[in-house]
């Protein structure tokens, strides 16, 4: 079968393995020859090649709910369960996932492997900060449990380990209590990047915080943006306020012609969006799907970038150099005319102890670029800016980072390798990304 990530670049031919249960998965893993390699695959929502290999081991049938303890706010479920399915179960009970990425289509196993983050990292950390334990099938076929207390080194390598330590079978997660399923949103207009930073810092105690940027604005308007702050709304009627209503919307039935995405159309879109947000009310109440997952209402939105796909470029720069570094990135993008419809800025809190986790204290910027030959030299220039400011790129979004950039920006990669070599000495678990970055092969 043809396989690809959400960015639809790169593409490869792969065999899809779909074990019916954990026992079938263990038998498959134990029977693999030393020359073979595979990688776990959940919902296919990582953007690049981190879940691409000759053999893809699907968690499709590991999608069972095992236990929900409403007294302790703890959920145990299979790795193939999607975050959206958890919300369907938990929100009517007044419970919520402490961290949500930009799509609810991500599987629990994928969220752990990438140690995904959300709009509240500055207060609540990443997804794995709320994972109590993991059940993992090792390269030997052995099933082990790991947590902060049990096999802690393996736990810290698996959380953010991009599936390279084994196949996650199930996980136990902590949940939060919420008063309602709605979010009170407040929006603040920033006329440039420095003003946006000021707004974020002034509202650092807000539960959720994310800014949309006009990446093609220049001069005094460079980085003009809209900051969206969010808090869980108080309950007026417990019975109705914890109903979970999924957002419905349109779908993209085919790949759009890529020539429609150019500097002119993107500049017009960005200017129009910024102007429309300035005219809107600054405060409103939204359903949680509308606040957390605005793009999920457009199924197959990745087709908007054309048949060749797109690359999402996300980096983080420590706070002291973030304004200067992100300014340099925006100036370079504007100079090259390679704008992005979706440009998002968030503030991160402190890094955790997971060895390949992306977030560190600072600011993270996310951009989408249409896949075209002229893009790759630009991204190499952006890499140099990020490294010069002690930043790094996000593995779950990466499709082309070099080994040199990876090893220069992830200081714990050698510690990760020492643990991987213990539990997977023959590199049974490997992906196109791990081969490219020098973690396998």
All structural domains of the chain with their residue ranges: 182-399
Q: Going residue by residue through the chain (441 aa), what tens digit of pLDDT does each one get?
A: 999 999 999 999 999 999 999 999 999 999 987 778 999 999 999 999 999 999 999 999 999 999 999 999 999 999 999 999 999 999 999 999 999 999 999 999 999 999 999 999 999 999 999 999 999 999 999 999 999 999 999 999 999 999 999 999 999 999 999 999 899 999 999 999 999 999 999 999 999 999 999 988 889 999 999 999 999 999 766 555 566 666 555 666 656 566 566 777 777 777 777 777 777 778 999 999 999 998 888 888 888 888 899 999 999 999 999 999 999 999 999 888 887 778 999 999 999 999 999 999 999 999 999 999 999 999 999 999 999 999 999 999 999 999 999 999 999 999 999 999 999 999 999 999 999 999 997
Length of the chain: 441
Residue 340's pLDDT is what?
A: 77
Residues 6 or more apart whose Cβ sits within 8 Å of residue 399: 5, 7, 9, 10, 47, 48, 49, 311, 433
Cα separation, 382 vs 330, in Å, equals 9
Cα separation, 324 vs 328, in Å, equals 6
CA distances from 441 to 79, 402, 421, 424 (A): 27, 15, 12, 12
CA distances from 380 to 122, 255, 313, 360 (A): 28, 27, 11, 22
Residue 276's pLDDT is what?
A: 78
Q: Which CATH number describes the domain made up of 182-399?
A: 3.30.70.2520
**Residue 268: count of CB within 10 angstroms of its CB:** 11
**Model's pTM, two decimal places?**
0.95
Residues 6 or more apart whose Cβ sits within 8 Å of residue 183: 208, 230, 231, 232, 233, 285, 286, 287, 288, 290, 291, 292
Cα dihedral across residues 416, 419, 424, 426: positive or negative: positive
CA distances from 358 to 123, 174, 343, 364, 367 (A): 16, 21, 18, 10, 16
In this structure, what token pair is assigned to residue 37? Answer: 């390699």
Q: Are 340 and 400 in contact (CB under 8 A)?
A: no
Return the half-sphere exposure (C-beta side, CA atoms, 13 A cut-off) of residue 183.
23
CA distances from 59 to 21, 39, 97 (A): 9, 11, 20
Q: Are 122 and 347 in contact (CB under 8 A)?
A: yes
Q: What is the 3-state secondary structure (H, E, C) of the chain?
A: CEEECCCCCCEEECEEECCCCHHHHHHHHHHCCCCCCEEEECCCCCCCCCCCCCEEEECCCCCCEEEEECCCCEEEEECCCEHHHHHHHHHHHCEECCCCCCCCCCEHHHHHHHCCCCCCHHHHCCHHHHEEEEEEECCCCCEEEECCCCCHHHHHHHCCCCCCCCEEEEEEEECEECCCCEEEEEEEEECCHHHHHHHHHHCCCCCEEEEEECCCCCHHHCCCEEEEEEEECCCCCHHHHCCCCCCCCCECCCCCCHHHCCHHHHHHHHHHHHHHHHHCCCEEEEEHHHHHCHHHHCECHHHHHCCCCEEEEEEEEEHHHHHHHHHHHHHHHHHHCCCCCCEEEEEECCCCCCCCCCCCCEEEEEEEEECCCCHHHHHHHHHHHHHHCCCEECCCCCCCCCHHHHHHHCCCHHHHHHHHHHHCCCCCECCHHHHHCCCCC
Cα separation, 87 vs 428, in Å, equals 34
Residue 242's pLDDT is what?
A: 60
């Amino acid at each position: 079968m043809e396989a690809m990530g959400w960015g639809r670049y790169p593409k490869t031919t792969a065999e899809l393995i779909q074990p019916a249960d954990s026992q079938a998965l263990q038998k498959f893993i134990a029977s693999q020859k030393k020359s073979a390699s595979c990688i776990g695959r959940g919902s296919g929502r990582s953007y690049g090649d981190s879940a691409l290999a000759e053999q893809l081991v699907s968690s499709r049938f590991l999608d069972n709910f095992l236990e929900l303890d409403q007294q302790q706010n703890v959920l145990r479920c299979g790795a193939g369960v999607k975050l959206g399915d958890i919300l369907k179960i938990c929100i009517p009970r007044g419970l919520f996932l402490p961290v949500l990425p930009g799509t609810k289509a991500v599987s629990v196993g994928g969220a752990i492997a990438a140690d995904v983050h959300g709009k509240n990292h500055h207060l609540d950390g990443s997804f794995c900060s709320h994972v109590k334990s993991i059940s993992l099938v090792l390269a030997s076929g052995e099933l082990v449990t790991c947590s902060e207390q049990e096999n802690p080194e393996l736990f810290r390598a698996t959380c953010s380990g991009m599936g390279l330590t084994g196949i996650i079978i199930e996980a136990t997660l902590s949940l939060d209590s919420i008063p309602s399923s709605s979010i009170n949103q407040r929006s603040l207009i920033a006329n440039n990047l420095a003003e946006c930073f000021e707004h974020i810092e002034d509202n650092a105690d807000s539960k959720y915080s994310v800014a949309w940027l006009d990446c093609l604005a220049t001069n005094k308007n460079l980085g003009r943006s809209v900051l969206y702050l969010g808090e869980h709304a108080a309950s007026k009627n417990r019975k109705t306020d914890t109903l979970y209503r999924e957002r419905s919307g349109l779908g993209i039935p085919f790949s759009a012609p890529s020539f429609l995405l150019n500097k002119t159309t993107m500049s017009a879109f960005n200017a129009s969006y910024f102007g429309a947000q300035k005219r809107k009310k600054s405060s409103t109440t939204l359903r949680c799907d509308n606040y957390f997952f605005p793009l999920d209402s457009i199924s197959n939105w990745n087709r908007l970038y054309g048949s060749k796909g797109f690359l999402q470029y996300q980096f983080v720069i420590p706070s002291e150099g973030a304004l200067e570094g992100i300014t340099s990135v925006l100036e370079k993008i504007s100079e090259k005319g390679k704008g992005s419809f979706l440009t998002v800025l968030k503030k991160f809190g402190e890094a955790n102890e997971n060895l390949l986790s992306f977030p560190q204290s600072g600011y993270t910027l996310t951009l989408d670029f249409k896949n075209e030959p002229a893009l790759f030299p630009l991204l190499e220039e952006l890499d140099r800016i990020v490294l010069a400011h002690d930043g790094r790129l996000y593995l779950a979004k990466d499709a082309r980072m070099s080994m040199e950039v990876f090893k220069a920006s992830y200081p714990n990669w050698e510690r990760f390798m020492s643990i991987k070599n213990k539990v997977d000495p023959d590199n049974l678990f490997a992906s196109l990304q791990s081969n490219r970055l020098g973690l396998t092969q």
